[in-house]
Amino acid sequence: MSDKTNKPDENERADAGGPHFIEQIIQEDLASGKHERIHTRFPPEPNGYLHIGHAKAICVNFGLAKKYDGLCNLRFDDTNPTKEETEYVDAIQDDIRWLGFDWEDRLYYASDYFEQLYAWAEKLIQEGRAYVDDLSADEIRAHRGTLTEPGKNSPYRDRSAEENLDLFRRMRAGEFPDGSKVLRAKIDMASGNINMRDPVLYRILRAHHHRTGDDWCIYPMYDFTHGQSDSIEKITHSLCTLEFEAHRPLYDWLTENLEIYPPRQIEFARLNMSYTMVTKRKLLKLVQEGTVSGWDDPRMPTIRGMRRRGYPPAAIRNFCDMVGVAKVNSTVDLAMLEYCVRQELNLHALRRMTVLHPLKLVIENYPEDQVEEMDAVNNPEKESDGSRKVPFSRELWIEKADFMEDPPKKYFRLSPGREVRLRYGYFVTCTGFEKNDAGEITEVRCTYDPATRGGDSPDGRRVKGTIHWVSAAHAVPCEVRLYDNLFTVPDPAAAEDVQAALNPDSLQVLTGCMGERSLGEVEEGQRLQFERQGYFCVDPDSKPGAPVFNRTVGLRDSWAKIQKQQAGGKKKG
């Protein structure tokens, strides 16, 4: 992990709160009248599902357009027919909408521009700026040179414009086998920038394309597609990640030589997050190898996965804002994302009581057939969420961990002779317990004080522990899935053996959990706080009356702790 981890304020934002460097450029361009309105785009390649890194690019592109009253297009960069599928095209649109952004009627595909791109290639050929090369891919690589040595010209570099045009048209007509020829820009084999050493513009590839079918057997390269697509759409600011910085001279060379509208490419830092892998290719492998249950496995850093896990879209947007836009790559702590998730859920999640590891509690002096409806607050952060009735009866479920036969000093929950508060219920005092032959505690017994209804003591008597409970007769049996990081190493993308870096305990399934009565009716995707346990979300695997809950995140906030420590450290220093 880089030493930049944990310090988003210092390293991700030059001046916290103020406009970041892209905003400064936009503000200047609007002030000078260079642009009346800004126009950005989000350009995913439909070769996988979107992940948290894409969420950042989406928030930057759609977010800036929104902030400066501009427009943002969605454009599929679909120039690679062998890896692309309509499944991804649909999922990507769904995910962007879920995140809260809208491209209105501006949905485009780079493949819609294939004919125009082809015409531009012919223009370059006619003007002596592109040529058909017969060298093989290996030979081209060998001719390319290195960072310190210039490349060598291809023997085919000086073909006449007529010959090149004829060959290129025959490439399109399917006269040559795959890989036998390419079209290259004629720039400079000695350029200090390897991207400018006669980059390949077109390749021959007989592959079915998800939109153009078998219309084409030549396909434009990314570099020949992206800038021109931006130009066609009159994108003012083409925002991309840092790895494209060295491609910018080619981006500009193409719009200049084609004499077309020149968008400005601006690069910003990729989002990297600790304990997380954000590369579609590697995530696809996890899916294909069955390491996870799918792209929407709640442990995946995909938008799908985070959604199923219960992350609210607003939390993801807030996180992207908090990370900010920087020019230097760094790694953000996963705890920061979880902090944003907690912040959001704390405000909006309804509180419920669920016992994950049930232990029977019998109240000896409570009437056998009595049921009381206790008032329980739905959300202390939001009065308008009101309250609900929770049934209370003689036999309850409590957490196994809330009883100890022989407790250590600072244990304030139930133990023989000890009095605790049952949240929203009564004060109860432990009178005994039962064990089975294996020595396990099977039942705890207690008496209640009828004067403490609602959990308040009339005589000012204090108890140190408050525990949650569920009435056994009214309990809704449920399954609860607990998650931990998918990887045990902070930088799994760098791991030589990804499988070895996996956390064997990333998923723990608890069956036979006991939820309060209201959990018998929940909706898929609903987000809740189980008191003392964390935030949970209703999984699509739920059946009527048998809900399945994913733990979204625990209650403990490690990010706030990290920040506090840092603040403390700073003060001292």
Binding site for ligand ATP (CB under 6 A): 43-45, 53-54, 56-57, 240-241, 270-271, 278-281
Beta carbon of residue 52, minimum distance to ligand ATP (angstroms, whole number): 7
Q: Taking Cα atoms as reference points, which of 272, 313, 337 lies closest to residue 11?
A: 272
C-alpha gyration radius of the chain: 31
Which residues in 50-136 belong to E strands, given as ranges? Answer: 71-76, 107-109, 130-133
Beta carbon of residue 42, minimum distance to ligand ATP (angstroms, whole number): 6
* Dihedral angle sign, alpha carbons of residues 12, 15, 16, 19: negative
Beta carbon of residue 411, minimum distance to ligand ATP (angstroms, whole number): 45
* Residue 45 or 385 with smaller CB distance to Mg ion: 45
Instruction: Count residues near Mg ion (CB under 5 A).
Output: 1
Q: What is the DSSP string of 222-258?
A: HHHHHHHHHHHTT-SEEEEEGGGGGGHHHHHHHHHHH
Task: Output the residue with the shortest Cβ distance to Mg ion.
Answer: 45
What residue 54 binds from ligand ATP, Mg ion, none (CB within 5 to 8 A, per partner kind)?
ligand ATP
* Residue 45 or 381 with smaller CB distance to Mg ion: 45
* Residue 195 or 488 with smaller CB distance to Mg ion: 195
Beta carbon of residue 273, minimum distance to ligand ATP (angstroms, whole number): 9
* Residue 229 or 343 with smaller CB distance to Mg ion: 229
Q: Using CB under 5 A, which residues numbered 394 to 453 contact Mg ion?
A: none
* Residue 14 or 242 with smaller CB distance to ligand ATP: 242
Look up residue 557 and give its two tokens: 């906030």
What residue 291 binds from Mg ion, ligand ATP, none (CB within 5 to 8 A, per partner kind)?
none
Binding mask 28-67 for Mg ion (x = CB under 5 A): -----------------x----------------------
What residue 396 binds from ligand ATP, Mg ion, none (CB within 5 to 8 A, per partner kind)?
none
Query: Kind of pairing, strands 182-185 and 130-133?
Result: antiparallel
What residue 271 binds from Mg ion, ligand ATP, none (CB within 5 to 8 A, per partner kind)?
ligand ATP
Look up residue 94 and give its two tokens: 């769904």
Beta carbon of residue 380, minimum distance to ligand ATP (angstroms, whole number): 36
Look up residue 223 and give its two tokens: 């570099």
What residue 56 binds from ligand ATP, Mg ion, none (CB within 5 to 8 A, per partner kind)?
ligand ATP
Beta carbon of residue 45, minimum distance to Mg ion (angstroms, whole number): 5
* Residue 276 or 563 with smaller CB distance to Mg ion: 276
Beta carbon of residue 218, minimum distance to ligand ATP (angstroms, whole number): 21
What residue 270 binds from ligand ATP, Mg ion, none (CB within 5 to 8 A, per partner kind)?
ligand ATP
CA pair distance 67, 65, nearest whole angstrom: 6
What residue 209 binds from Mg ion, ligand ATP, none (CB within 5 to 8 A, per partner kind)?
none
* Residue 271 or 374 with smaller CB distance to ligand ATP: 271
- Amino acid identity of 6? N
Q: 270-296: string of b/e by CB count within 10 Å (b at 16+)?
A: bbbbbbbbbebeebeebbeeebbeebb
What residue 280 binds from ligand ATP, Mg ion, none (CB within 5 to 8 A, per partner kind)?
ligand ATP
Beta carbon of residue 269, minimum distance to Mg ion (angstroms, whole number): 16
CA pair distance 471, 363, nearest whole angstrom: 11
Look up residue 433 and give its two tokens: 């317990």
Burial of 28: CB neighbours in 10 Å, binned 0-12, 13-18, 19+: exposed
* Residue 44 or 70 with smaller CB distance to ligand ATP: 44
Catalytic positions, written as ranges = 45, 270, 280
Q: Confirm if 204 and 167 have CB atoms less than 8 A apart.
A: no
Q: What is the DSSP string of 394-420?
A: SEEEEEGGGB-SS--TT--SB-TT-EE
Each as own residue / partner, the long-range contacts of residues 14-23 (CB below 8 Å, 24 or more positions apart, any chain) are 14/326, 20/324, 20/325, 20/326, 21/325, 21/327, 22/60, 22/64, 22/237, 22/239, 22/266, 22/268, 22/325, 23/64, 23/67, 23/325
CA pair distance 517, 547, nearest whole angstrom: 12
Backbone angles phi, psi at 392, to 5 degrees: -120, 135
Sheet with 200-204: strands ordered across: 130-133, 182-185, 200-204, 218-220
Where along the sequence are the contacts to Mg ion (CB under 5 A)?
A: 45
